[in-house]
Structure 1
């Protein structure tokens, strides 16, 4: 996190409240020097200091630190790659990214957008996968199974798997290059 943003944020919140540095020190039971160090970008408030500032400024610690400013490319890449669990079991391609999204959606920049886009894509993919699989099982029920008929009937499933894999990998590369991600096609089931 950029500490300069934090120092500016503390000054902003203090000014909105109409406090001088001395008044904020008194209200928060912190020393004037601590307030000055925070606002001069010499220190970052943590733990009890952060809690005291939040109480004095009538806000939450998250509002002071403004976690949404943080950007963690490695988390975004990991979250994108987590959808590859669909290779083991299709629902894992939804559950694992959903868990990662829920943990950081309001704390890291772009996680909410990536999570919504990726989950809508994975849910759509799983719906198509399940529909085609059920259709193939109904069509083939009672028939004799041989290698050629299996290959022909299950080629749409294989194509869906390959497409999902390519979409995940290409979007992970795009995230690494700070480009916009494109998980398509997807039904807009989850919204920001």
Structure 2
């Protein structure tokens, strides 16, 4: 796995201070080869190495490392949970299963690529299920026996897929919606 953020920050800070890789190596106990590999993103730095490099560059360790903010992660999870659970309103008021996630997606898609991808998946699934529900209604009216079973099976299937995705978002921020890609990838 490449450590591109750290590599970019280290290279930028070293060049900003006007140091060559050799000069940085001399001012720390880090070899030139290690600095080269770190700047290429080939290796993950040890904390001790990061501290030495930060001290030599007269920086805080935070300036080289990107630390995840747990509050930001919690907020993202809440938005994703809202996006994935809002279609349940469609069981009470028709078409809100599409409109609610659509409004959330329009509002949040520019904030994070995660919101964009999840929103597209939710909306595509809801549109797909509305079309299948319409086909099931036609089958109910025109095909004896099978039409009734098809019509009855659509809603529980939709609810189970939605519930499974809400759980997947809470646990791992993942989704798996079988759908037609009406909203293509960005």
TM-score by length of 1: 0.54
- How far apart are residue 90 of structure 1 and its match? 4.2
- Distance (whole Å) between structure 1 residues aligned to residue 152 and residue 90 of structure 2: 13
Residue in 2 that maps onto 1:182 = 176
Gaps of 5+ in 1: 1-7, 20-38, 41-69, 141-148
Alignment size in residue pairs = 123
What's 1:66 paired with? none
- Structure 2 vs 1, CA of residues 97 and 88 (structure 1 numbering), >3 Å: closer, same or farther? same
How well do the aligned residues superpose, as a CA RMSD in angstroms?
A: 3.2
Partner Cα separation in structure 2 for residue 152 and residue 74 of structure 1? 40
Equivalent residues of 1:90, 1:126 under 8 A apart: no
Following superposition, the deviation at residue 155 of structure 1 comes to 3.1
Greater length-normalized contact order (CA 8 Å, ≥ 6 residues apart): 1
Distance 2:100 2:77 in 1: 18
Tell me the alpha carbon deviations over residues 87-106 of structure 1, each in whole angstroms, 9 at most, x when there is no partner.
Answer: 12442111111011000011
C-alpha change, 1:178 and 1:109, in structure 2 (3 Å) is farther
Please state how far the C-alpha of 1:153 moved relative to its aligned partner.
Answer: 4.7
Partner Cα separation in structure 2 for residue 191 and residue 89 of structure 1: 27
Query: Does the CA contact (< 8 Å) of 1:83 and 1:96 recur in 2?
Result: yes
Aligned to 2:158: 164
> Which secondary structure does the structure 1 equivalent of 2:172 belong to?
coil
| SS of the residue 1:187 aligns to | coil
TM-score (norm 2): 0.55
Asked if 1:191 is matched to 2:172, the reply is no
* Over 6 Å off, 4+ runs: none
Give the gaps of 5 or more residues in structure 2: 1-5, 17-58, 61-71
How far apart, CA to CA, are the structure 1 residues paired with 2:168 and 2:181? 22
